[in-house]
């Protein structure tokens, strides 16, 4: 049973105005097979949490730890984190000019697994995953995310998720900018990944809409760099009705 433990995580970035403290002591534990929704207003530090887990160099860890089955993730390089089974679907997926989707997926899969995927099954797996996400086959030969629409980029992130088969996935606003049909398709991909590999998911979202399609086991309300409240699914329903104002007033940042 795998577990990802975030303990008293404190993170800052350097800005022109000096050091900005963004995460102010985050505690969160995700077991394999669990879906945790992290919900919060804009600017509360959700993406910072995602980038810090993935190892983005801009985010300075000032304290705390992130343990994957007891191993300190913060001591690992970005590559080591991916090999250890961590995956980040970014809020704004990057374009990689000159690298086709097919080559990117094969290279990433090889790096993560430590061996090239079996030729006989890999092509079929890619094709099946693309079909599941209703991606036109032509996307295989296109450069990663180059010229993709917002929705196409989000599908492409989930394509990577399904094929790379991580143990824990951080999905940062995978729902933003999707119409209802695309939201359903992307959600089905996430649910398939969970059913096939039993991964743990940290689902970052501003809106409750995606939680109709991806059912969280736990909901964490994230305000001003901390978890302000935790609960079950019912907490998401309450946020849908009440919004974040109450938390912002309590945190004195509204
Ligand atoms: P969220 O994803 O919840 O909207 P972010 O983690 O993106 O929040 O940002 C939290 C706060 O930190 C915001 O005020 C944002 O402007 C600031 N911030 C995040 N990253 C940087 C950065 N690289 N440089 C300067 N400020 C940043
Ligand atoms: Mg934001
Ligand atoms: Mg964000």
* 86 confidence band (pLDDT: 50, 70, 90): very high
Ligand showing the shortest atom-to-Cα distance for residue 244: 1
CB of 21 shorter than 6 A to ligand 1: no
N-term to C-term CA, the chain: 40
Q: Tell me how far the alpha carbon of residue 173 lies from the centroid of ligand 3, in angstroms.
A: 7
pTM over 0.80: yes
Q: Which of 10, 48, 172, 225 to mutate to test the pocket of ligand 1 (most atoms within 8 A of CB)?
A: 48
Q: What is the ipTM of this complex?
A: 0.96
Ligand showing the shortest atom-to-Cα distance for residue 23: 1
Domains of the chain: residue spans and CATH: 33-46+77-251 (3.40.50.300)
Q: What is the pLDDT of residue 250?
A: 84
- pLDDT value at 189 more than 80: yes
pLDDT average, residue stretch 66-71: 98
Neighbours of ion ligand 3 (CB under 5 A): 46-47, 91
Q: What is the pLDDT of residue 248?
A: 87
Q: pLDDT tens digits, residue range 210-253?
A: 999 999 999 999 999 999 999 999 999 999 899 999 998 887 76
Percentage of the residues of the chain whose pLDDT score is greater than 70: 99
Q: What is the pLDDT of residue 50?
A: 97
- pLDDT value at 115 more than 90: yes
Backbone angles phi, psi at 30, to 5 degrees: -120, 120
Backbone angles phi, psi at 192, to 5 degrees: -65, -45
CB of 48 shorter than 6 A to ligand 1: yes
* 254 confidence band (pLDDT: 50, 70, 90): low
Answer whether 33's CB lies under 8 Å from 191's CB: no
Region of residue 225 (phi > 0: left; psi between -120 and 50: alpha; otherwise: beta) = left
d(CA 232, CA 132): 29
pLDDT average, residue stretch 55-83: 97
State the average pLDDT for the chain.
95
Q: What is the pLDDT of residue 252?
A: 74
Region of residue 173 (phi > 0: left; psi between -120 and 50: alpha; otherwise: beta) = left
């Amino acid at each position: 049973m795998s577990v990802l433990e975030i303990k008293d995580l404190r993170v800052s970035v350097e800005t022109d105005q000096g050091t900005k403290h963004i995460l102010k002591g985050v505690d969160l534990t995700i077991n394999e097979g669990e879906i945790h929704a992290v919900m919060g207003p804009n600017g509360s530090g959700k993406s910072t949490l995602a980038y810090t887990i993935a190892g983005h160099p801009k985010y300075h860890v000032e304290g705390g730890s992130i343990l994957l089955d007891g191993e300190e993730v913060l001591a690992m390089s970005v590559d080591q984190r991916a090999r250890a089974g961590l995956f980040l679907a970014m809020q704004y997926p990057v374009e990689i000019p000159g690298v086709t989707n097919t080559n990117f997926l094969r290279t990433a899969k090889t790096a993560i697994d430590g061996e090239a995927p079996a030729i006989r099954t890999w092509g079929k797996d890619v094709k099946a995953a693309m079909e599941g996400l209703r991606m036109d086959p032509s996307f295989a030969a296109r450069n990663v995310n180059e010229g993709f629409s917002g929705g196409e980029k989000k599908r492409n992130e989930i394509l990577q998720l399904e094929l790379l088969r991580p143990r824990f996935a951080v999905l940062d606003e995978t729902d933003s900018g999707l119409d209802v049909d695309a939201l359903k398709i992307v959600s089905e991909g996430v649910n398939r990944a969970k059913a096939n590999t039993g991964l743990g998911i940290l689902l970052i979202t501003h809106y409750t809409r995606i939680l109709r399609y991806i059912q969280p086991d736990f909901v964490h309300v994230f305000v001003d760099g901390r978890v302000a409240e935790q609960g079950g699914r019912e907490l998401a329903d309450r946020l849908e009705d009440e919004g974040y104002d109450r938390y912002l007033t309590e945190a004195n940042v509204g």
